[in-house]
Amino acid sequence: MTLDHLISQYGLWAVFLGCFFEGETAAITGGVFAHRHLLVLWQVTLVAGFAAYLADMSFFLAGRRFRDHRLVRTLAARPRFAVALRGIDRNPARFAAVFRFIPGMRMIGPLALAQSTISTARFALLAALAAAVWSVLYAALGHVIGQLLAALFGPIERVEVLLTGALVAALAVAAVILWRRHRRG
């Protein structure tokens, strides 16, 4: 059994789990594999969006259900949580629509929104729209990275080389995000 075959068989499950627990890197990697024809781009996009939505709803509902729990109160005491709450106080609907695109807010955002007055139905709608846009954006970005890798290195026959290139690209994106965060203070 080759690595290509494993990715073709189980890649969408990996994208789902990766997007539920991590996010961008899994969606981008799925897009790269779609460029390589190991996965289908629309399926990667759909699975990534569904996983992102389930994660957002899970954190939101857990935050609502356990708002008085010690763990939620501990998270609420963190500085990032305070930043999220200030953004929510100004416009909860806008924050619900964009938190997914703010580095470091994937879990904190829904938990903070759960402490606000936004209704569950409104959050569910905004989270679904945000997850749909997010999944299209990052899966397409992965597909473009796959095209760039093919243009730079020619047709890549071994998936290990492709994985290495995708990992380097994902690490570069993460490094830029961390650099920008550090620069802001």
Query: What is the pLDDT, as a whole number, of residue 48?
Result: 96
Secondary structure (DSSP) of 74-128: HHHTSHHHHHHHHHHHH-HHHHHHHGGGSTT-TTHHHHHHHTSS--HHHHHHHHH
Say what the pLDDT of residue 166 is.
67
DSSP at 170: H
Domain ranges of the chain: 3-184
> What pTM did the predictor assign?
0.78
Render the burial of 129-163: b for 16+ CB within 10 Å, e for the rest: ebbbebbbbbbbbbbebbeebbeeeeebeebeebb
Residue 52 has what pLDDT?
Answer: 95
Do residues 88 and 38 touch, judged by C-beta distance below 8 A? no
Low-confidence ranges of the chain (pLDDT < 50): none
Q: What is the pLDDT of residue 132?
A: 96
Under 8 Å between Cβ of 153 and 44: no
pLDDT, residue 68, reads 81
Residue 104 is predicted with a pLDDT of 75
